[in-house]
């Protein structure tokens, strides 16, 4: 092998004007790839970073950009949108014409609605109990979408409950992200499929098809369950023992929602979109629409938002920033991954400078050390503006929630970072309700009791703190 390589090198070296050919090839590569990048009209700093970085890795840079570069699913957007039939087009906005509700509807396409009952489920055990109860009571369909589903004790219990319902004639559709759930054996779902249930994968790997982008960087991070169109679940909890404190003492600290009411229709729309997109199926939509329960407006103003790279509006990002700007008294934020963009960073700082009670709750150490370093790189700037930052320590904090004043509460799957706001398919729910906001405030207060406040005079040695934080911040758009 070495002899062949040496012979090839000698042959190339003997070619006249080889340097000119290589220079022209590099120039054609830079111009071609550069034109592709520039035409996408991204922020100038990001565009220049990609241009200079890829120019330094000739030819291989094309593959890097193809797999990891910024992507919009333009070609598939209409295909996803066409599945929005007869599920939410008759929804009516909740009472009031709040600016946030208008913003949410304009950016996500999902109208404001109402809920009859909302339950905050703290940690995995309570969530899985409520989920299994709802699944076992299903009569027509169970729709599930998860980023992580593990073949462990928790995953097996849910699979068996779904298989039992499928044998009873209930339509069971389970959509899993192909990266988040990559470690699960494909035959794990054989009992469910044998019972008549369906399993599909979101953006499976297709590296062998060089003419198609792999979408490896665009994942479905959503957690959605819809039972018979009237009971819905969403939040931050996946299906895994890592989030089940009955199985593991170090399970993630997390928060989920159980919702009843008309707003569940919007969760249904998001699932139907994703299922139709992932499978190409559309015949099932009519039967789902027919099985939707009669509308019964509730007393809780609620609104679902879906965001992802098939839309340029970053609806969940805009909702968070808009809610912070609307605040008049307080903004309390909990997130496991805190890597804010410029707009969100300025909104939090401005709120604190204006005298509001701004608190950010993050894990003392997340499951990714680079993410922890990147988050801490923002602390000094925020604390200088008056933001109080707390690091939760007993377990890994995985809660994603924001409280604004005494009536706005936002929950969902989205972290407070660029990946969730721009690259992942995410889902959030906003409630404008004093009782739910009060319950969330009590939860925050309990969590803050176990979370020491970050001190402005904390030790920051160069090699172990400042340098890792600065380097991690450079990579923050990719984290």
The DSSP result for 124-137, as a single string, is HHHHHHHHHHHHHT
Q: pLDDT class for 34, splitting at 50, 70, 90?
A: low
Q: pLDDT class for 145, splitting at 50, 70, 90?
A: very high
10: region left, alpha or beta (phi > 0 left; psi from -120 to 50 alpha): alpha
96 pLDDT above the threshold of 50: no
Q: What is the rounded CA–CA span in Å between residue 208 and residue 220?
A: 22
Average pLDDT score over residue span 121-133? 98
For the chain, give the mean pLDDT.
86
DSSP string, 39-59: TT---HHHHHHHHHHHHTSTT
pLDDT tens for 360-409 read 999 998 888 888 999 999 999 999 999 999 999 889 999 999 999 999 99
pLDDT tens for 194-237 read 999 999 999 987 655 544 555 677 899 999 999 999 999 999 99
Looking at 274, 405, 417, 433, which residue is catalytic?
A: 405
User: Which secondary structure element, helix H or strand E, spans residue 234, and what is its range?
Assistant: strand 231-235
List % helix, strand, coil for the chain (3-state, nearest 5). Answer: 45, 20, 35
Helices within 150-218 (DSSP H only): 153-167, 190-194
User: Which secondary structure element, helix H or strand E, spans residue 120, and what is its range?
Assistant: strand 117-122
| Exposure string over 404-437, b if 16+ CB within 10 A, otherwise e | bbeebbbbbbbbbbbbbbbbbbbbbbbbbbeebb
Tokens of 432: 């404008």
Q: pLDDT class for 59, splitting at 50, 70, 90?
A: low
User: Which secondary structure element, helix H or strand E, spans residue 77, and what is its range?
Assistant: helix 74-81
Q: 223 an active-site residue?
A: yes
| Cβ atoms 185, 191 nearer than 8 A | no
Looking at 203, 317, 320, 398, which residue is catalytic?
A: 398
Q: What is the rounded CA–CA span in Å between residue 162 and residue 135?
A: 7
> What was the pLDDT predicted at 205?
76
Looking at 177, 228, 262, 417, which residue is catalytic?
A: 228
> What was the pLDDT predicted at 211?
44
User: Which secondary structure element, helix H or strand E, spans residue 119, and what is its range?
Assistant: strand 117-122
Looking at 203, 223, 256, 317, which residue is catalytic?
A: 223
Q: pLDDT class for 75, splitting at 50, 70, 90?
A: very low
Q: What is the rounded CA–CA span in Å between residue 234 and residue 314?
A: 19
pLDDT tens for 338-364 read 999 999 999 999 999 999 999 999 999
Q: 290 an active-site residue?
A: no
- Taking alpha carbons only, the member of 351, 317, 359 closest to residue 334 is 359
Burial class (CB in 10 A: 0-12, 13-18, 19+), 236: buried
Looking at 317, 400, 417, 433, which residue is catalytic?
A: 400
Point out the least confidently predicted range of 233-242, 289-298, 434-443.
289-298
Tokens of 2: 């070495």
> What was the pLDDT predicted at 82?
41
- What's the predicted TM-score (pTM) here? 0.86
Q: 221 an active-site residue?
A: yes
User: Any residues with CB less than 8 A from the CB of 45 and at least 6 apart, and which?
Assistant: none
Looking at 141, 203, 221, 317, which residue is catalytic?
A: 221
Average pLDDT score over residue span 451-473? 88
> What was the pLDDT predicted at 95?
41
Q: What is the rounded CA–CA span in Å between residue 420 and residue 271?
A: 18
> What was the pLDDT predicted at 93?
44
Q: pLDDT class for 78, splitting at 50, 70, 90?
A: very low
Beta-sheet strands, E only, within 317-455: 330-334, 338-339, 357-363, 388-392, 401-404, 408-412, 416-417, 426-432
327 or 217: whose pLDDT is higher?
A: 327
Q: 228 an active-site residue?
A: yes
Q: 152 an active-site residue?
A: no
> What was the pLDDT predicted at 90?
45
Q: 405 an active-site residue?
A: yes
């Amino acid at each position: 092998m070495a002899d062949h390589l040496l012979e090839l090198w000698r042959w190339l070296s003997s070619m006249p004007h080889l340097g000119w050919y290589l220079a022209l090839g590099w120039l054609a590569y830079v111009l071609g790839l550069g034109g592709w990048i520039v035409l996408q009209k991204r922020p100038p700093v990001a565009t220049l970073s990609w241009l200079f970085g890829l120019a330094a890795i000739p030819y291989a840079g094309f593959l890097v950009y193809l797999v990891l570069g910024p992507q919009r699913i333009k070609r598939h957007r209409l295909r996803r949108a066409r599945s929005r039939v007869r599920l939410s087009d008759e929804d009516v906005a909740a009472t009031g014409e709040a600016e946030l509700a208008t913003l949410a509807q304009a950016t996500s396409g999902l109208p404001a609605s109402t809920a009859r009952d909302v339950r905050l489920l703290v940690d995995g055990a309570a969530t899985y109990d409520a989920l299994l109860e709802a699944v076992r009571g299903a009569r027509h369909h169970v729709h599930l979408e998860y980023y992580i589903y593990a073949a462990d004790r928790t995953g097996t219990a849910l699979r068996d409950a779904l298989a039992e319902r499928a044998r009873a004639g209930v339509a069971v559709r389970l959509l899993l992200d192909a990266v988040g759930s990559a470690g699960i054996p494909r035959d794990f779902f054989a009992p469910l499929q044998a019972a008549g249930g369906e399993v599909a994968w979101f953006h499976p790997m297709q590296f062998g098809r060089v003419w198609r982008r792999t979408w490896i960087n665009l994942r479905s991070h959503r957690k959605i369950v819809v039972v018979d169109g009237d009971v819905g679940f969403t939040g931050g909890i996946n299906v895994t023992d890592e989030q089940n404190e009955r199985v593991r003492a170090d399970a993630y600290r997390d928060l989920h929602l159980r919702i009843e009411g008309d707003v569940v229709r919007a969760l249904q729309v998001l699932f139907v979109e994703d299922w139709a997109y992932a499978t190409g199926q559309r015949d099932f939509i009519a039967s789902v629409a027919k099985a939707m329960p009669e509308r019964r407006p509730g007393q809780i103003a609620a609104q679902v938002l879906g965001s992802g790279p098939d839309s340029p509006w970053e609806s969940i990002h805009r909702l968070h920033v808009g809610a912070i700007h609307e605040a008049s008294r307080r903004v309390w934020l909990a997130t496991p991954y805190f890597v804010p963009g410029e707009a969100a960073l300025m909104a939090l700082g401005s709120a604190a400078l204006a005298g509001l009670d701004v608190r950010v709750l993050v894990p003392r150490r997340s499951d990714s050390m680079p993410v922890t370093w990147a988050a801490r790189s923002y602390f000094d700037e925020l604390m200088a503006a008056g933001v109080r930052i707390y690091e939760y320590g007993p377990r890994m904090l995985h809660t994603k929630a924001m409280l604004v004043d005494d009536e706005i509460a936002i929950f969902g799957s989205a972290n407070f970072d660029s990946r969730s706001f721009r690259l992942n398919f995410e889902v959030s729910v906003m409630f404008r309700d004093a009782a739910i906001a009060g319950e969330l405030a009590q939860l925050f207060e309990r969590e803050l009791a176990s979370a020491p406040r970050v001190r402005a005079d904390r030790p920051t040695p160069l090699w172990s703190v400042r340098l890792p934080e600065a380097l991690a911040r450079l990579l923050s758009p990719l984290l």
